[in-house]
Structure 1
Amino acid sequence: MTQTFDTTPGTRAEQEVAPARAMRTVRRRIPAGVVASGAFIALLLVAVAAPGLFTNYDPLAGDFLSILKAPDAAHPFGTDRLGRDVFARTVYGARYSLFIGIGATLISVVFGVLLGILAGQKSRLLDETNSRLFDIVSSFPTVLLAMLVVTFLGQGMFNIAVAVGLSGIPKFGRVVRAQTQLVRNADYVTHAHIYGRGHIEIFFRHLLPNVLVAVPVTATVFIGSAILAVSGLSFLGLGPQPPTPEWGVMLAESRDTLRVAWWPGVFPGVAITLTVIAFTVFGNYLQDVFEGRDNS
């Protein structure tokens, strides 16, 4: 009696499951929007590091023979009321907006992490004090709180970064507080105490690394919000002052000529919008990856 064996790869059940696995693999691919956002952020970083690769014009040099010139081959974004190239000012403006936005984010991260770790310890007094502090700061809108801080500290790029950074402290503080409480009660931390590990060793070896893993994800999303807040304050005249080619300053300067020339205000506005969207989309994707969610 002759027996025949099925030599096809896998059983029928495995063959039926294969397409489903392939579909799940496709769904796990990085979405096109995330790729576009990452590419735009990379382009911004290049503009910050080497703006001369994009334009040969001086962002501060005016040409009174080319005042409010519409976009053309020589000036892709046109010129402003002083004859300055809008494209060059937009490219160089990325440096100021990103520097201030990232600086504000670093301030939020440093103080948010410190206060969040303190709030996540066993001391009920520290937890209640920091939680009420977070509630008080969060009760103020970002722009209003930043305006109050700038009023006391004065204008300037550093002061505006401090003002926006203070408004973001509760966001990072709450994330770190929750993560600290979670890690502090984990089994491996308990075992470390049982085996006689010191508090300092446990803090730097187990607690701190596991608490900080969520911070970069939150910071990526916050950078976009910080840049938007910085541009808004600059538009109100509380940030860098003219003729600095900062996006918010460019928007403020274009108000008087917006009815006769749209390009000096539209292009920096588009740059702000795309930058905020790019950091938000990229940060949300990192959040999904960190939490293990499907990005389909």
Structure 2
Amino acid sequence: MVKAPYVLTQTTTRVLEPSDLDAALAVLDSEPVANAFVASRVQIAGLDPWRLGGEMWGWYEDGMLTSLCYAGANLVPICATPRAVRAFADRARRAGRRCSSIVGPSEATAQLWRLLEPNWGPAREVRPHQPLMVADRLPADIAPDPYVRRIRKDEMETIMPACVAMFTEEVGVSPLAGDGGLLYQARVAELVGSGRSFARVDRDGRVVFKAEIGAATTQACQIQGVWVAPEYRGQGYAAPGMAAVLRYALADMAPLVSLYVNDYNTAARATYRRVGFQEIGAFMSVLF
């Protein structure tokens, strides 16, 4: 027998259960671009914490589920009102820090961090403004790089060093630390296996440009891990490479393609604008 979802008549927060899936998806679908990362996981795994890789907390206003917070490897506020953020912060404070980062829309994430910093701080790094950008068509004046292609399953040894280099450069720590990279390698393998890892590989087997579609729903997908090998930077590979990945994404994944970028990365922001991405908001990240 399927358990009926809770009906709440008060303002409260609780851990959601599988029977709450439809209500949670309705919240996620209300902002499909900003919520693409979490929505893609929920659509595949549901709300079972073991399959999802974390708990989904729900905030109810007058009996209606209005805000969410994903609490796994990342802590992610979703459509979170100020009252919901306070409730999520209280729950997170009681549970103790288990995540490696807090990431999400900048306003809610900033409030969440202000409430958690006295107990969880200091952070290793805070990135308060990361423009959220979106595109829904190919650029008219930049041809996609014809050499950017999907990475095959037998090319893990080719793509993995580039992924590690990108992650280390972007995050500031190696993904191979701790468990020796087992979880990170599994994640890269998942993206390769699902046809969402793309690269230009030169004749010597070196990755020139790479990017992944890290999350995808029927409404929106999110590009991540954009990287050009240092020795190839400044030679015009980034924009055509991004146009190629954008073409794959629009054709095979979703009608809206998004990404977020550090505000201080002026070169990357300029490249994304050239390819047709426009800023529609901002994310914030707190790294531990």
TM-score (norm 1): 0.22
Instruction: Pick the structure with greater CA Rg.
Output: 1
Higher helix share: 1
